[in-house]
């Protein structure tokens, strides 16, 4: 089975540092979060990838938890293998006998959390600490394991709760109208999963197909609107009618295009023939960035609210407004204007009732589940999204709370010790809010009895202590009380030469975001002080070219490196060969073009590789030319007066060492860059660290001039990640035009589509333009992705700055599976892989022998 056929990550989640098992386990739990992903916009309080490594703290990426990081979430299946572990093997043991660790010694994994979890319900969990519990108490259908021949490269797929690999039975349902399987389809739409027959809850209650169906029904229950329900329909996996089931009875607004499709109108003319004189609704901010007053037939100068409202016009009238605005102001074609109208004009809609018999998760028998999908997924794509988070029926029903006068049902499931059933390798045995969590082996977990997990899970007990301060956590680590520590930016230099320090790359790219919302900027500027020059692309480009990324990374971080592209070196273009996206010629040229570098026989750099090797993102001479050009453009356009000063503000969540470093570097750098230009003495950069956790959303709404934020995740599927820069609900740069046209040469033919159109085609969502993963060559998809990345970067509203690495100290007490870093599996630092150099008793004695404090320098 090809890797490419097996792995499609759609991982949207908010986390600055994700350890391997925790990240993979998130998949086994659910696909959930992006608001990116799934998609979920992320602030610090949003979902983070589940982890079971208690040693990680929030500072592990240069203390950049203050950075708005969005993660496109990837549901990676779980399971692992430890090395050199002491295991008592009994070849004559029968199924049901414990074949796990029978070492008489006891091993406890000690970690720290900044705060207590509040809700570890698999259907509704919210943040990183919640997910820590789930990573220990749940399991998935499948998982990845290290390639035993070379732990640093590749992987193998193993079964967990599944009894075998999924069977693709698409051909049996091809053309079936009830399940929307295309005529003639042979793969990717319908899968049968066998379930192990020895699955149990921690109290011994059996788990079978009914458990999975009940849990799926609860996940999608329209009366509960569970936070994690979108894993069934907002990712690459779209379970047939899952969205319709949870939305049934919901009164909302949908686009004209969506409404026409649901009601089988042949085209827009057919819709307008019936509804053209009906009252239309619109989100003015999303559609135009400004508000229109139908009564006075003029554009209102007030800020447009980001909400769907009555437009004051009929659909016919609103259509004409789109054409007038797009053609005259945005210089778009009438066809593009009508397309925008189709997708942005809104219609009142009530979702009809849907029977569970028509939802694409069905029980075939007691130990087989069948998935029906609206989107074709093959191989690893399916493994990523096949899991169903389970809830124990009797406990779950007891925990439901129905309040008189309220439509939605709430639940107290997994909010306390007595309401927390486990079906994973450990169970919660102690919980004191803001103090401690303890987990012990779940002896009824199948993995201790199936003979397939020998050498794994040496850990007998996991303990999390709630410790808010990094300095306290470091001291606990040095005293042997914690089994790992994520270094803060100011601590890395103290341990740089340590034999126990580990640097871990990640997919997170931190970018400098520059505001381009003219109305919002204008509303916040004062007489004599200008902000609207930010709407001039050449000014944004000048700011971007004034920063040496390598110097910036060295000056403001401890372990991160220069970031040049939206997609850093971590991203994989081809999971089959593990080839990196940035190694392809088209991806290299995107960077060279974005930073205005030239190469060729008569140039300073002879090849694109030479240009890449010399890249810093810094070109002061060109930046100064652009500052002058932008100044003239702004004055000529009436955006500013010649004697105005440019006063911008860098926004952050809080005032701390890291945010101050960012601000001070930018201020000093730009004040020097404008010397000798028309902006010399006229550039002011202020600092506002009061946005709190809303700083990312504040930028989206136009409330701030600039901030640092970014996205990570989906590192095995960078084609999907582009949604973070295109989706209206996700992208920070709201003024960026996602409907602009882009022409790309594919197989010798020039093809022109909008950016949104290219995204759909590249991800296999456009049958007329077959550029999906199963439709065209890898080279073509890379070329499309590189061209799209270039367009986003050359808008200079999103300027990559840092490729985030993390630094951590590994305890002398433990060993990881391998020293090699595997891009999919990390080093095997999860609770399943970790092995111990000391038992609890031996460790205590060792620490005493060292005088009560360990030396890691």
Q: Are 315 and 256 within 8 A, CB to CB?
A: yes
Between 84 and 844, the higher pLDDT residue: 844
Q: What confidence score (pLDDT) does residue 190 get? A: 96
For residue 523, the tally of other CB atoms under 10 A from its CB is 14
Nearest to 800 by CA among 614, 616, 596, 611: 616
Task: Check whether 34 has a pLDDT greater than 60.
Answer: no
Structure confidence at residue 80 as a pLDDT band (50, 70, 90): very low
- The DSSP-derived string for 389-442 is ----HHHHHHHEE--TT-SS-EE-TTSSGGG----SSEEEEEEETTTEEEEEE-
Q: Are 795 and 537 within 8 A, CB to CB?
A: yes
Quote the distance between the C-alpha of residue 730 and its chain's center.
10
Q: What confidence score (pLDDT) does residue 622 get? A: 95
Which residues lie closer than 8 Å to 207 by C-beta, 6 or more apart? 161, 195, 199, 200, 201, 390, 423
Structure tokens at 103: 């070492």
pLDDT more than 90, % of the chain: 63
Q: Are 56 and 19 within 8 A, CB to CB?
A: yes
Structure confidence at residue 540 as a pLDDT band (50, 70, 90): very high
Task: Check whether 59 has a pLDDT greater than 50.
Answer: no
Least reliable range by pLDDT among 346-355, 540-549, 584-593, 693-702: 693-702
Average pLDDT, the chain: 85
For residue 848, the tally of other CB atoms under 10 A from its CB is 10
Q: Are 450 and 198 within 8 A, CB to CB?
A: yes
Give the pLDDT confidence of 111-148 residue by residue, as tens digits. 999 999 989 999 999 887 888 999 999 999 998 899 88
Nearest to 481 by CA among 60, 845, 844, 107: 844
CA distance 731 to 286: 12
Q: Are 108 and 856 within 8 A, CB to CB?
A: no
| pTM for the full predicted model | 0.74
Q: Are 88 and 56 within 8 A, CB to CB?
A: no
Give the pLDDT confidence of 603-629 residue by residue, as tens digits. 889 999 999 999 999 999 999 999 999
Give the pLDDT confidence of 787-845 residue by residue, as tens digits. 999 999 999 999 999 998 888 999 999 999 998 888 888 898 889 999 999 999 999 99
Beta pairing partners, 69: 710
Q: What confidence score (pLDDT) does residue 627 get? A: 98
Give the pLDDT confidence of 272-306 residue by residue, as tens digits. 999 999 999 999 988 887 889 988 889 876 667 87
Between 450 and 781, the higher pLDDT residue: 781
Least reliable range by pLDDT among 121-125, 659-663, 774-778: 774-778
How buried is 627 (Cβ within 10 angstroms: 0-12 exposed, 13-18 middle, 19+ buried)?
buried
Give the pLDDT confidence of 704-732 residue by residue, as tens digits. 999 999 998 888 889 989 999 998 888 99
Place of tokens 């159109």: 757
Task: Please report how many Cα atoms fall inside a 13 Å half-sphere around the Cα of residue 403, on the Cβ side.
Answer: 6
Task: Check whether 770 has a pLDDT greater than 50.
Answer: yes
Beta pairing partners, 111: 464
- The DSSP-derived string for 678-747 is TTTT-EEEEEE---GGGHHHHHHTT--SEEEEEEEE-TT-HHHHTHHHH-TTT-S-TTS-TT-EEEEEET
Give the pLDDT confidence of 355-401 residue by residue, as tens digits. 999 999 999 999 999 999 998 887 666 776 678 999 999 999 999 99
Instruction: Read off the pLDDT of each residue in 305-310 and give the average, rounded to a whole number.
Output: 88
């Amino acid at each position: 089975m090809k890797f490419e056929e097996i792995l499609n990550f759609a991982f949207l989640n908010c986390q600055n540092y994700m350890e391997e098992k925790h990240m993979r386990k998130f998949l086994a739990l659910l696909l959930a979060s992006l608001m990116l992903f799934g998609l979920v916009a992320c602030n610090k309080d949003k979902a983070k990838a589940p982890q079971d490594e208690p040693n990680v703290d929030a500072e592990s990426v240069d203390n950049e938890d203050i950075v708005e990081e969005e993660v496109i979430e990837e549901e990676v299946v779980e399971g692992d293998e430890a090395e050199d572990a002491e295991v008592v093997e009994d070849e004559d043991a029968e199924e049901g006998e414990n074949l796990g660790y029978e070492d008489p010694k006891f091993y406890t994994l000690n970690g720290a959390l900044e705060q207590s979890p509040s809700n570890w319900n698999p259907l509704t969990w919210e943040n990183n600490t919640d997910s820590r519990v789930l990573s220990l108490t749940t399991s998935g259908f499948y998982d990845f394991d290290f390639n035993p021949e070379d732990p640093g490269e590749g992987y193998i797929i193993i079964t967990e709760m599944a009894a075998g690999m999924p069977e693709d039975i698409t051909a049996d349902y091809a053309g079936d109208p009830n399940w929307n399987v295309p005529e003639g389809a042979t793969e990717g739409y319908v899968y049968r999963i066998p379930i192990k027959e020895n699955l149990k809850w921690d109290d011994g209650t059996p788990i079978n197909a009914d458990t999975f169906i009940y849990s799926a029904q609860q996940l999608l229950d329209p009366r509960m609107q569970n936070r994690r329900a979108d894993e069934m329909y907002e990712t690459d996996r779209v379970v047939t009618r899952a969205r319709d089931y949870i939305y049934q009875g919901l009164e909302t607004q949908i686009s004209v295009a969506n409404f026409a499709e649901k009601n089988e109108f042949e085209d827009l003319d057919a819709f307008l023939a019936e509804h053209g004189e009906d009252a239309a609704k619109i989100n003015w901010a999303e559609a135009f960035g400004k508000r229109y007053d139908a009564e006075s037939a003029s554009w209102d100068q007030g800020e447009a609210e980001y909400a769907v409202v009555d437009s004051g016009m009929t659909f016919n009238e609103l259509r004409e407004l789109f054409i007038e605005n797009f053609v005259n102001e945005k210089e778009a074609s009438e066809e593009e204007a009508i397309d925008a109208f189709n997708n942005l004009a809104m219609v009142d809609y009530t979702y009809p009732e849907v029977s569970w018999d028509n939802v694409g998760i069905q029980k075939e028998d007691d130990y087989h589940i069948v998935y029906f999908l609206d989107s074709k997924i093959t191989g690893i794509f399916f493994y990523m999204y096949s899991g169903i988070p389970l809830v124990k029926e009797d406990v779950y029903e007891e925990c439901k709370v129905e309040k008189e006068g309220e439509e939605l049902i709430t639940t107290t499931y997994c909010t306390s010790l007595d309401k927390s059933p486990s079906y994973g390798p450990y169970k919660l045995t102690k919980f004191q809010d803001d103090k401690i969590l303890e987990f012990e082996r779940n002896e009824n977990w199948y993995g201790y009895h199936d003979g397939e997990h020998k050498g794994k899970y040496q850990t007998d007990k996991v303990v999390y202590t709630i410790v808010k301060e990094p300095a306290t956590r470091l001291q606990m680590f040095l005293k042997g009380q914690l089994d790992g520590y994520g270094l803060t930016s100011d601590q890395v230099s103290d341990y740089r030469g340590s034999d126990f320090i580990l640097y871990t790359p990640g997919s997170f790219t931190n970018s400098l975001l520059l505001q381009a919302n003219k109305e919002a900027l204008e509303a916040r500027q004062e007489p004599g002080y200008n902000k609207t020059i930010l709407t001039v692309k050449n000014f944004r480009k000048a700011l971007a070219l004034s920063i040496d990324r390598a110097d910036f990374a060295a000056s403001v971080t401890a372990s991160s490196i220069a970031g040049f592209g939206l997609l850093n070196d971590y991203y994989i273009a081809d999971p089959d060969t593990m080839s990196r996206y940035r190694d392809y010629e088209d991806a290299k040229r995107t960077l060279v073009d974005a930073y205005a570098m030239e190469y060729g026989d008569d140039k300073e750099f002879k090849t694109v590789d030479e240009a890449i090797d010399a890249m810093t993102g810094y070109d002061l001479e060109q930046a100064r030319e652009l500052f002058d050009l932008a100044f003239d453009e702004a004055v000529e356009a009436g955006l500013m007066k010649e004697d105005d000063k440019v006063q911008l503000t860098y926004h952050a969540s809080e005032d701390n060492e890291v945010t101050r470093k960012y601000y001070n570097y930018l201020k000093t750098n730009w004040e020097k860059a404008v010397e000798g230009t028309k902006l010399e003495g006229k550039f002011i950069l202020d600092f506002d660290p009061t946005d709190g956790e809303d700083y990312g959303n504040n930028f989206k709404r136009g409330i701030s001039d600039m901030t640092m934020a970014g996205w990570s995740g989906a590192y095995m599927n960078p084609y999907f990640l582009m949604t973070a820069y295109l989706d209206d609900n996700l992208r920070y740069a709201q003024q960026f035009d996602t409907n602009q046209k882009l022409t790309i040469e594919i197989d010798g033919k020039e093809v022109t589509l909008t950016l949104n159109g290219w995204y759909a085609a590249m991800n296999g969502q456009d049958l007329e333009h077959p550029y999906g993963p199963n439709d065209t060559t890898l080279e073509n998809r890379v070329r499309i992705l590189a061209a799209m990345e270039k367009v986003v970067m050359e808008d200079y509203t999103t300027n990559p700055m840092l490729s985030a690495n993390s630094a951590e100290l590994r305890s002398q007490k433990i060993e990881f599976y391998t020293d090699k870093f595997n891009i999919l599996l990390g080093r095997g630092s999860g609770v399943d892989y970790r092995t111990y150099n000391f038992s609890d008793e031996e460790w205590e004695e060792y620490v005493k022998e060292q005088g009560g404090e360990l030396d890691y320098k």
